[in-house]
Amino acid sequence: MTTHPPIASPAQPGDGDLPQPAGNQPFTVVTGAAAHLPRANVDTDVIIRIERLTALPKEQLGAYAFEALRYLEDGSEDPDCVFNQTLFRNAPILLAGDNFGCGSSREGAVTALQGLGLRCVIAPSFGDIFFSNCFQNGVLPIRLSAPEVDALAAACAHGELLSVDLERQTIRTAAGAETVFSVDPMRREGLLHGLDDIDLTLKDDALINAWQQADRQRRPWAWPVGTTTVV
């Protein structure tokens, strides 16, 4: 197995312009170049190595995203890697292969993608935990068939812009072709408004409190003395 040496500094040539992680910024429409990484089974260790997660603050993870793919053994950029090519550097959209984000549960993998500038990943399938982590951290994962992903890649091969509209649930190419995608309604609402699961639950705070107050009357024995309702 090839051992990739540590990168001397997260401020590699070209990395000074890397975006900061988006966190839970609202996602409505994202338009930009779409980098194509067609390999299958890209796991979370390829996205971000565990030693980077334990040693670096999240703001620096983007410089090390896809480290084994982006850098040569001497630490210099691999010019053949799509993320290092001028047309696709800092692209906000990734067209990926099957089973993207498989492997260990690693929420920092999503943060690393954000640090690379990505807000949307389109693939035929995803690792289940990675898929959920995307929604919790402001990245939109979209499942499309392999032929649909290939068609989008062909339409964007020379840097043509792709537009992902979460409100309309469509992907539009520069030529005007549209592809419809589906997303869970609650997860869609969370991304549109920049909310995670806890935030979505707290939107119903008044209903929760009303139920608790009513349940106190119905079942006082279930509410020990000193128990308070959610505020």
- Identify the CATH class of 15-182: alpha beta
Element (H, E) at 155: helix 146-155
Cα–Cα dist 119/116, whole Å: 9
Cα–Cα dist 228/57, whole Å: 37
In the chain, the percentage of residues whose pLDDT exceeds 90 is 66
Domain spans of the chain, in order of start: 15-182, 196-231
Report residue 105's pLDDT band, with 50, 70 and 90 as the boundaries.
confident
Whether residue 175 contacts residue 161, with contact meaning beta carbons closer than 8 Å, is answered with no
Residue that wins the pLDDT comparison between 126 and 17: 126
Q: What is the pLDDT of residues 50-72, one digit of tens each?
A: 999 999 998 999 999 999 999 99
Residue 206 has pLDDT above 90, yes or no: no
Stretch 18-45: mean pLDDT: 85
Cα–Cα dist 139/120, whole Å: 5
Stretch 111-140: mean pLDDT: 95
